[in-house]
Amino acid sequence: MLFTGIVYYWAITMILKGQENKDLAEEEQEVFSYVNTNHQLPPEPKSNSQHTTFTVVNSPVKRKFVGSVFRNEKEGENEPGRGLITNVTVNGIHYKVFIVESSVETDDLIQIIFGITIGVILILLAILFMVNKLVLSRIWQPFYSILEQLKSFNVSNKAEIIPQRSTIEEFTELNNAVLTMSSRVKSEYNDLKAFTENASHELLTPLAIINSKLDTLVQTDSFSERQSALLNDLYTSVSRLTRLNQAMLLLSRIENQLIPGTEPVELDELINDNIIQLHELYTDKDIRLTVNLVHKTLNANKYLIEVLVSNLLINAIRHNVSKGEIAIMLTDEKLVVENTGIPQDLSGQNIFKRFNKSAGSEGSGLGLTISNQICENYGFRLSYAYKQNKHAFMVNFKLPQAPDFLQN
């Protein structure tokens, strides 16, 4: 484009220069013919665009065209011009003839032509660019849409990939492939989840039978110390199994968002109730409790919030040391449960991962996973920090708004 422009500019300039030279040559001819007929110099004609001057010289000068300056008397300014230096001999005296012509108009012409041309080219370019962009984005829109959906695809999310209608065969094919893949992945994932849930369900009945048989067994007679100890171990194990099972069921139900129903939950009251409920548990360990609550209402399922609060509190008690401390702080933005415990930062470990538990813990290993999932369901964020030898779990009620490009 630049090259074409240069060539174009050069060509026009050449043509117009040629025209000017022709004009000048014509003027020269006129001077010559005047001299031939009248044997004297013509008067120095001065027009708006042309001057001719005669100067006496000793020897003839070489004829040539030059770029020059044209003094426009009328406007009183110097304009670019083009001159022709030539000779004329009148009565044996050599005169240098200098014809100068204003090239302002020519230059103006060039500029106008060039301007218009450039303008048209630019407008064309812009239109071309916009049309291109529009057409391209229109054409690629199904592709980007699929891509976007693939990026945000979440196997546990209920949202399906929306089929993109496109007249382009490749995109339709891609679309179909993505749809098939996602639905297959989802159905397999759901099968797996259903299996977990069914397995947990099926386990409940035998567990109930074991439990009831144990309850019946202990009624039968008095047992020896050894038998009692064995029975006690059995009870404890069955109880753990039950708890684990219930935790798995609860987790799968929360993950599937199968626990609906929201109501205003008075969080401060709920925490206080929980503290009362757990009174014996922490006083048994001589734990000092500091509670600092503001009034806070959440819109959520009360049962789930109860599970969340009680999980955090029980963890704080369970993983505490004798004569330790627990601090519970509730502000408008967050709930913090801080406790003393083993002097080790746990943030490097996947504490929110299933079945990740400390060596001595006899919990289900699902407590934090469940808590985390509950938080996720309500758009809260559960985080862990270790500072000043204290483990702190924090529930942020207000997530910072994600940047726009992350939403969709």
Which class for 1: exposed (0-12), middle (13-18), buried (19 or more C-beta within 10 A)? exposed
264-288 burial, b if ≥16 CB within 10 A, otherwise e? ebebeebbeebbeebeeebeeeebe
41 binds another protein (CB under 8 A): no
State which amino acid sits at residue 205.
T
Q: Which amino acid is at 325?
A: E
Among the listed residues 47, 91, 167, 222, the single contact to another protein using CB under 8 A = 222
Whose CA is closest to 56, among 86, 95, 110?
A: 95
Applying CB under 8 A, among 99, 161, 251, 278 the residue interacting with another protein is 278
Q: Tell the smallest beta-carbon distance from residue 148 to another protein (Å).
A: 35
Tell me the backbone φ, ψ of residue 168, rounded to 5 degrees. Answer: -85, 125
Which segment (6-14, 98-106, 220-228, 394-402) binds another protein by CB under 8 A?
220-228
Of 205, 322, 388, 407, the one binding another protein (CB under 8 A) is 205
Q: Which of 201, 295, 323, 398 binds another protein (CB under 8 A)?
A: 201
286 binds another protein (CB under 8 A): no
Give 349's contacts (C-beta < 8 A, 6+ positions apart): 356
Q: Among the candidate windows 47-55, 145-153, 232-240, 369-377, which touches another protein by CB under 8 A? A: 232-240
Contact between 204 and another protein per CB under 8 A:
yes
Rounded-to-integer distance, Cα 298 and Cα 91, Å: 116
- Contact region with another protein (CB under 8 A), list: 51-59, 64-72, 278-286, 388-396: 278-286
Any contact of residue 196 with another protein (CB under 8 A)?
Answer: no
| Contacting range for another protein; rule: CB under 8 A; set: 23-31, 70-78, 218-226, 340-348 | 218-226
Cα–Cα distance, 109 to 125 (Å, whole number): 24
**Quick check: 44 and 54 in contact, CB under 8 A?**
yes
What whole-number distance in Å separates Cα of residue 376 and Cα of residue 397? 10
* Range in contact with another protein (rule: CB under 8 A) among 31-39, 103-111, 223-231, 400-408: 223-231
Q: Does 281 interact with another protein (rule: CB under 8 A)?
A: yes
Q: For 99, left (φ over 0), alpha (ψ -120 to 50), or beta? A: beta
The amino acid occupying position 117 is: T
| Least spacing, CB of residue 394 vs another protein, in Å | 21
* 81 CB-contact burial (10 Å; exposed 0-12 / middle 13-18 / buried 19+): buried
Q: Does 277 bind another protein (CB under 8 A)?
A: yes
DSSP assignment string, 107-146: HHHHHHHHHHHHHHHHHHHHHHHHHHHHHHHHHHHHHHHH
Taking CB under 8 A as the rule, does residue 231 contact another protein? yes
Site membership for another protein, residue 284 (CB under 8 A): yes
Query: Which residues have CB under 8 Å from 91's CB, separation 6+?
Result: 39, 40
Q: How many CB atoms neighbour CB 102 within 10 A? A: 23
The residue among 21 and 242 lying less far from another protein, judged by its C-beta, is: 242
Site string for another protein, 346-385 (x = CB under 8 A): ----------------xx----------------------
Does residue 275 bind another protein (CB under 8 A)? no
| Span of 59-67, 106-114, 251-259, 265-273 interacting with another protein by CB under 8 A | 251-259
- Is residue 103 part of the contact set for another protein (CB under 8 A)? no
Residue from 169, 280, 332, 404 touching another protein (CB under 8 A): that is 280
Tokens 């206080």 identify what position?
A: 272
* Binding positions for another protein, rule: CB under 8 A: 201, 204-205, 207-213, 215-216, 218-219, 222-223, 225, 228-229, 231-232, 235-236, 238-240, 242-243, 246, 249-250, 253, 258-260, 277-278, 280-281, 283-284, 303, 310, 314, 317-318, 362-363
